[in-house]
Structure 1
Amino acid sequence: MLSFGPDIPFVHELGFVLIKAENGESELQYTPRPEHLNSFGVTHGGASMTLLDVTMAVAARSVDFEQGIVTIEMKTSFMQAANGPLVGKGVMLHRTGTMAFTEGRIYDAQGRLCVHATGTFKYMKRKPKVDGDVNGELRSLATD
């Protein structure tokens, strides 16, 4: 199984599985648990948006895993209910020195497009690791 890099507890809790992360493309699998559903019994929109956020961020990071990345903007369109096992596919459309422009899609087990998003991400350098750093790879991002 591929690694997302530094552990992200929320992503781990949702159970996302990284299938592909290379050359500006990504693919993740996600099987929503009952606590991830809305009152209609389908995947909650927030869970779908998180899948897309991570999918697009991984696509952007796939060209430079050394840098951190933060979401600047995301636009999501829900086209139909997302049921059962889901696949998120992301692609980096354009990159500058500090920004990545991406697109993500969620498909259900029948291959139907359920949710679409575009996102803008900013590459961030991590602060240098210092002796005694208990967070290891989770060191803070430099925001200046």
Structure 2
Amino acid sequence: MSAADTSTLYDKVHFAKLLGLRREFAEAGVSRMVLDTRLELCNNFENTHGGVIMTMLDMAMSSAALSKADFKKAVITVDMSTHFLSPGKGRLVAHGRASGGGKSICFCEAHIEDEAGRVVARAMGAFKYVDPKN
């Protein structure tokens, strides 16, 4: 990876590996993340834990922001608002999209669907572009 190519940064996110969260794609400001929920990622109701849901949304949005910048920048989350709509169980798919911004901030949105296509959660966020060398 060169200093101006952040396309492989996701491979260095060990927390995502611990969760089993996979990035299926991130292109042109759009991304998709997939998680096969397992018991150790669940709360006491055997639904996917809210922290895991928020991580999926954050990773989907940050991947969308990175791809919008053609993987020439890195990003950090500066704001995120999450709405939980239904319990998450089984295979979950997060869809992220960069919806606006400029040279230094990227605004994004994301949602997660379960296997039946029900929306589990939605989020909006702001991501600051930073120098990938720092």
Q: Using structure 1 for the length normalisation, give the TM-score.
A: 0.84
> Shift of residue 36 of structure 1?
0.6
1:124 is aligned, of 127, 130, 134, to 130
Tell me, yes or no, if structure 1 residue 17 matches structure 2 residue 44: no
CA contact (8 A) 2:38 2:90 kept: no
Counting matched residue pairs gives: 126
CA offsets 1:34-91 (integer angstroms, 9 cap, x no match): 1110000000000000000000000000122121100000000001101110000000
The 5-angstrom pairing of residues 35-50 of structure 1 reads: 35-50=40-55
Q: Distance in 1 between matches of 2:36 and 2:50?
A: 14
Q: Counterparts in 2 of 1:1-144, with a 5 A limit?
A: 5-6=8-9, 7-64=12-69, 65-127=71-133, 141=134
Runs of 4+ in 1 over 2 A off after TM superposition: none
Report the RMSD for the aligned CA atoms in angstroms.
1.3
Give the TM-score, by structure 2 length.
0.90
Unaligned 5+ residue runs, structure 1? 128-140
Could you say which structure has the greater relative contact order, defined with CA pairs below 8 angstroms and 6 or more residues apart?
Answer: 2
More strand by proportion, 1 or 2?
A: 2
Determine the C-alpha separation between the residues in 2 that align with 1:98 and 1:69.
9
2:68 and 2:98 in contact (8 A); partners too: no
